[in-house]
Amino acid sequence: MTWPLFTEWFLPGVWITVQVTLGSAALALLVSFVIGIARSSRLWIVRFVAGCYFEVFRGTSALVFMLWMAFAFPLMFGWVFVPMAAGILALGLTYGAYGSEIVRGSLQSVPAAQREAGIALSFTRTQRLRRIELPQAWPEMVPPFNNLLIELLKGTALVSVISVADMTFAANLSRLASNESAPAYTLLLVSYFVLAFVMTRGMRLVERRAKAGIGQRPEPRRGLRAARKPLPKGESAQAGPQSAGGVG
Amino acid sequence: MNWDWDVVADFMPRFWDGVLVTLQALVLGSLLAFSLGLVWAIAQRSKVKLIRWPVVGITEFIRNTPLLVQLFFLFYVVPEWGPSMSPLVTGVIGLGLHYSTYTAEVYRAGIDGVPVGQWEAATALSLPRTRTWTAVILPQAIRRVVPALGNYVVAMLKDSPMIAVIGAFEMLGEARAFSNETFTFEAYTIVGIAFIVIAYPASLLIRAMERRLVK
Amino acid sequence: MSNDTPNPAPEDKPQTPEGKPQTPEAAPGVPEALAHVNPKVDGSELIRFDRVTKRFGDHVVLDDLEFTVASGKHVTLIGPSGSGKTTILRLLMTLLKPDEGTISVGGRYLTHEERNGKLVPAGEKHIREVRKNIGMVFQQFNLFPNMRVLRNITEAPVHVLGLSKEEAEERARELLELVGLTEHVDKYPSQLSGGQQQRVAIARALAMRPQVLLLDEVTSALDPELVAGVLDVLRDIAHTTDITMLCVTHEMNFARDISDDVLMFNEGRVIESGSPEKMFNDPDHPRTREFLSAVL
């Protein structure tokens, strides 16, 4: 990669990658909570609608959805997205479906006894959710959310396909310009790995604070990912691999 | 919106071609991911540091970098000093390699889930190491991990359109080429729905397996 | 579970010097924190189970059950496990709903409402309103692990009763003094022993100033050496207040100390009831005799 390419495309591309990651992570987080909580609702219609969202977006290929937003959507509805917006929407909406499974699973893992204690103290449903169930479920959510965040970071490479100038886009430019692709792609892979590492460190801090908030210590683990428990049973067995699985 | 069924009809032959390529990539990629993942999982448990550490390092690196970039690397960089491969072959290797690092984790969890008593019993019977693995540990581990592996097949299905970017004509590649030629939007929509339609029963199947196998 | 003499003389019963007071005014030892608990102790009916049936699948846990509890009374439910004692507490706490029959508290239906002269299942709001008069202490404490001790106690008074934070904290501190845990206000439940957690749970229930306190095998999950501390606190509360108590326990000495009435359950029905003296010393029903000889 030539020096001008590096400074004018690659470095700004790193910033774009970070922006897309944070933007879609924020959207995915919002979707995760809204859909995850709605899927635990006691009203069947709310559960049904949220369930439909989950099934549809879990089956959606992020790349296909992104291209559809960028090319088919404008032709169909006469509305053009800024490429970066199309990318963030596609990533946020699809990864949010995975996140909703994390939220739902963690809420379910709060012991029933806690709900009963809340009832015995006459809390309303909303109060129980906000003051008892969510605060206790949150530390459980952080490690799988970390996995999902890294999947999302990897997913951001897809935006290069719809011409968002992220760091993958810059590496592709370099290949086209210089015909020498090894250094550019190697640098690119390492950059993603470093970003993933930094994000994991950040999420560990979040996890430590979340656990400290309920008087627990975080468990030590190796690697960038949250250690997976030896195959949890039933529904939750799905959450592990799913949350880690690529969606793109 | 003016949906044109004629456009859909024009696209359908190419769509089925694309489905075929997608399924090829998926089946071959899965086989590669299943077998390579097992190799990683066993190597990660090796007592020899010189085997364990590099394998842990490589799998961590592959798992934490984008599949799309890995495909570019395999397609554009590897031929500079190695063999040149067709887009589909590159895609299969890319998908298989990437997902082998996930299946390795699944196997690892499955192997860890086999009770210690099973290892001890094998030792007490003086079973040789290979026999312990093939007759005692793996049969118990694999049964428990089938649903988790299934989930990764679905994930791989949804990642498979990436191989269109290096020029393989699977579903998305066909749709993209068709749309660029005709300036229409139906093909993208059809393919998008096709993924949902394939993925949904697949995940139902996996959930059913989960209930039966993971007890 | 104690191996005391099976038939102690009735005179041994009062273990606190002042005995059980009839009215709060008569009790010089009423702790500050509980001075409020002064419901009408006119012996009027506070809790009524009217033909209540509860089934789990095919298993009938409570069978057409009828009984009442007068306000201010301390009632202990005894009987073999599976006889429906805990189910009664859980029904009163609305953790379960009766399949048939009605439960009323203070003259109001708990899970039903009268609408146009007909009895219909009550809405959330009605249930919450009636339920506010009832507090419960659980076998497994069920403290909120995400809150420190003080907030465990103040959370509901602030957000359910609408007390100010200062007021709630003052109340909480008084109650913590009563249960002897003042130095632990800033700890998380996980940093406390089981006995300490259970005493916090008692304080948490009392902070809502309930008319009725339900005690569901509150010492069963505790290490034996921690049981006495918790029971002492409860004895104290029982002897110095007129809070109505419904208690499921296997601690027969404790039951003897604090109860006004003992109800013997068997197969979802009350087969015998009476004063602790009568029930523990000279029960009529052979099943009661059999049960007591097994546990005493």
Looking at the structure, do residues C129 and C231 belong to the same domain, yes or no?
Answer: yes
The predicted model gives C210-232 an average pLDDT of 91
| pLDDT reported for residue C30 | 53
Average pLDDT, chain A: 85
Average pLDDT, chain C: 84
pLDDT reading at A129 higher than 70: yes
Looking at the structure, do residues C51 and C164 belong to the same domain, yes or no?
Answer: no
Per the domain annotation, does C26 fall within a domain? no
Q: What domains can be seen in chain A, in order of their start residue? A: 3-244 (1.10.3720.10)
Looking at the structure, do residues C197 and C94 belong to the same domain, yes or no?
Answer: no
Determine, for residues B69 and A168 on separate chains, whether the beta-carbon distance falls below 8 Å: yes
C4-43 tens-digit pLDDT: 444 444 444 344 444 444 444 434 455 555 655 444 455 6
Looking at the structure, do residues C123 and C186 belong to the same domain, yes or no?
Answer: no
In the structure, what pLDDT confidence band is assigned to residue A235 with cuts at 50, 70 and 90?
Answer: very low
In the structure, what pLDDT confidence band is assigned to residue A104 with cuts at 50, 70 and 90?
Answer: very high
Looking at the structure, do residues C149 and C105 belong to the same domain, yes or no?
Answer: no
Higher pLDDT, B3 or A188: A188
Question: Side-chain half-sphere of A79: how many Cα atoms within 13 Å?
Answer: 7
Is the Cβ–Cβ distance between A149 and A96 less than 8 Å? no
Looking at the structure, do residues C198 and C88 belong to the same domain, yes or no?
Answer: no
pLDDT reading at B60 higher than 90: yes
What is this model's ipTM?
0.88
Chain C residue with the nearest C-alpha to that of A132: C144
Per the domain annotation, does C69 fall within a domain? yes
Looking at the structure, do residues C91 and C147 belong to the same domain, yes or no?
Answer: no
pLDDT reading at A240 higher than 60: no
Contacts of residue A123 in chain C, CB cutoff 8 Å? Answer: 156, 159-160
| pLDDT reported for residue A213 | 74
The two structure tokens encoding residue B26: 């998926």
pLDDT reading at A55 higher than 70: yes
CA distance C62 to C51: 9
- Of C209, C241, C257, the residue that ends a domain is C209
DSSP state, A220? P
Per the domain annotation, does C32 fall within a domain? no
Which residue of A60, A229, A235 is in closest CB contact with B192? A60
Strand order in the sheet with C269-274: C134-137, C212-216, C244-248, C74-78, C261-266, C269-274
In the structure, what pLDDT confidence band is assigned to residue B121 with cuts at 50, 70 and 90?
Answer: confident
The model carries a pTM of 0.80
pLDDT reading at A101 higher than 90: yes
Determine, for residues B188 and A71 on separate chains, whether the beta-carbon distance falls below 8 Å: yes
pLDDT reading at A220 higher than 90: no
Per the domain annotation, does B1 fall within a domain? no
| Mean pLDDT lowest among A123-127, A177-181, B35-39, C286-290 | A177-181
Per the domain annotation, does C266 fall within a domain? yes
The whole domain housing C271 covers 43-133+225-296
- Angle at alpha carbon of residue A31, lines to A25 and A36, rounded to 5°: 125
Determine, for residues C146 and A136 on separate chains, whether the beta-carbon distance falls below 8 Å: yes
Best of A68, A95, A149, A179 to disrupt the B interface (most B CBs within 10 Å) is A68
Contacts of residue C156 in chain A, CB cutoff 8 Å? Answer: 121-123
Contacts of residue B74 in chain A, CB cutoff 8 Å? Answer: none
What residues contact C62, with CB distance under 8 A and at least 6 apart?
C52, C53, C54, C84, C87, C88, C91, C98, C268, C269
Secondary structure class of A230 (helix, strand, coil): coil
Per the domain annotation, does C214 fall within a domain? no
Per the domain annotation, does B2 fall within a domain? no
Backbone angles phi, psi at C123, to 5 degrees: -80, 165
Distance from CA of A236 to the nearest CA of C (A): 22
Looking at the structure, do residues C71 and C201 belong to the same domain, yes or no?
Answer: no
Share of chain A above pLDDT 90, in %: 64
Looking at the structure, do residues C157 and C181 belong to the same domain, yes or no?
Answer: yes
Domain count, chain B: 1
Per-state percent for chain A, helix, strand, coil, to nearest 5? 80, 0, 20
Looking at the structure, do residues C104 and C50 belong to the same domain, yes or no?
Answer: yes
| pLDDT reported for residue C25 | 42
Per the domain annotation, does C49 fall within a domain? yes
pLDDT reading at A212 higher than 90: no
| pLDDT reported for residue B152 | 92
CATH number at residue B190: 1.10.3720.10
Per the domain annotation, does B3 fall within a domain? no
| Mean pLDDT lowest among A228-242, B189-203, C277-291 | A228-242
Looking at the structure, do residues C123 and C168 belong to the same domain, yes or no?
Answer: no
Per the domain annotation, does B207 fall within a domain? yes
pLDDT reading at A65 higher than 70: yes
The whole domain housing B157 covers 8-213
Contacts of residue C155 in chain A, CB cutoff 8 Å? Answer: 121, 131
- Of C148, C182, C209, the residue that ends a domain is C209
Please name which of C242, C211, C204 lies closest in space to residue A121, comparing C-alpha atoms.
C204
Distance from CA of C140 to the nearest CA of A (A): 8
Per the domain annotation, does C20 fall within a domain? no
Backbone angles phi, psi at C187, to 5 degrees: -95, 160
| pLDDT reported for residue B215 | 52
- Angle at alpha carbon of residue C119, lines to C114 and C122, rounded to 5°: 70
In the structure, what pLDDT confidence band is assigned to residue A228 with cuts at 50, 70 and 90?
Answer: very low
Looking at the structure, do residues C82 and C183 belong to the same domain, yes or no?
Answer: no
- Of C148, C175, C209, the residue that ends a domain is C209
CATH number at residue C247: 3.40.50.300
